[in-house]
Structure 1
Amino acid sequence: MRIVTASILAAFATLAAAAPALAEPKCTTEPKSAWLTEDAMKAKIAGMGYKDIRTFKSTSGGCYEIYGHDKNGKKAEVYFNPVTGDIVHAK
C-alpha cells in the first residue's frame, strides 16, 4: 500500500513540476533581431483594442506576453508572435 501511495505522490509531483513549463506557448525561434520592436508591438497591441496593459514582457518561449484588458474591458492574458504580431494564445 505504501509503495502505491508513494508512486501516486511521485506522479503528482512530476505533473506539478511540469505544469508551468506547459503553460507557456512557443511563439518563434527567430532571433530577436527579427522581432518587432517593443514600441512597434505595443502600438500594434493598442490597435487591436487592448488597453490598461500592466505587464508587457518577452517570454522564454519566444513570445511577447501581456496582461491587461481587451476592448470589452475583460481581463486578458495574451501571447503574441513577436515577428508577425499575431496572437498565438489568449486567455
Structure 2
Amino acid sequence: MKSSILLALAIMAAPPAQARDDCDVPIKDWQTRDAVRALAETKGWVLQRIKIDDGCYEVHGTDQDGKRFEAKIDPATLTVIEIELNHKRR
C-alpha cells in the first residue's frame, strides 16, 4: 500500500513532458518554398498549400494518383518525415 502511494506521489511530482517541435532546424539552414515545390514536382504531387507547422514544412495536395494527402517535410534536407493519405479522389 505504501509503495502504491509513493509511486503515485512520484508520478504526480514529475515535471510534465515538454512538447518539442518535430523539426529543430535553424532558419538559416532552411531551404526555400520553391525548393519544396520542386520536390513536389519530382514526386508527381500537385500542391494546394505549403505552410509551416511544428518547425517543419507541411504540404497539402494530391499525389500522382489524384489522392489527397498531407506531408511533413524537414526544412533543411527536404526529407519527407510523415505522409498521411486521405484516400479520397478529387
Fold match (TM-score > 0.5): yes
Shift >6 Å, 4+ stretches: none
The corresponding residue for 1:66 is 59
Instruction: Return the structure number with greater helix share.
Output: 1
**Normalising by structure 2, what TM-score?**
0.65
Larger Rg over CA atoms: 2
1:1-80 correspondence to structure 2 within 5 Å:
26=22, 28-51=23-46, 53-59=47-53, 61-80=54-73
Identity %: 29
Which ranges in structure 1 are unaligned for 5 or more consecutive residues?
1-21
Question: Which has the higher relative contact order, 1 or 2, with Cα contacts under 8 A spaced 6 or more apart?
Answer: 1
Q: Distance in 2 between matches of 1:71 and 1:79?
A: 18
Tell me how far 1:76 sits from its aligned partner.
0.7
RMSD of equivalent CA atoms: 1.6
Number of residue pairs aligned between Structure 1 and Structure 2: 65
Hey, which of these two has a bigger chunk of strand by percent?
A: 2
Per the normalisation by structure 1, the TM-score is: 0.65
* SS class of match (1:47): helix
- Residue type at the aligned position of 1:68: G
Provide the C-alpha distance between the structure 2 equivalents of 1:41 and 1:48, rounded to a whole number of angstroms: 11
Q: Deviations 1:7-46 (Å, cap 9, x if unpaired)?
A: xxxxxxxxxxxxxxx9xx71x2111110111111211121
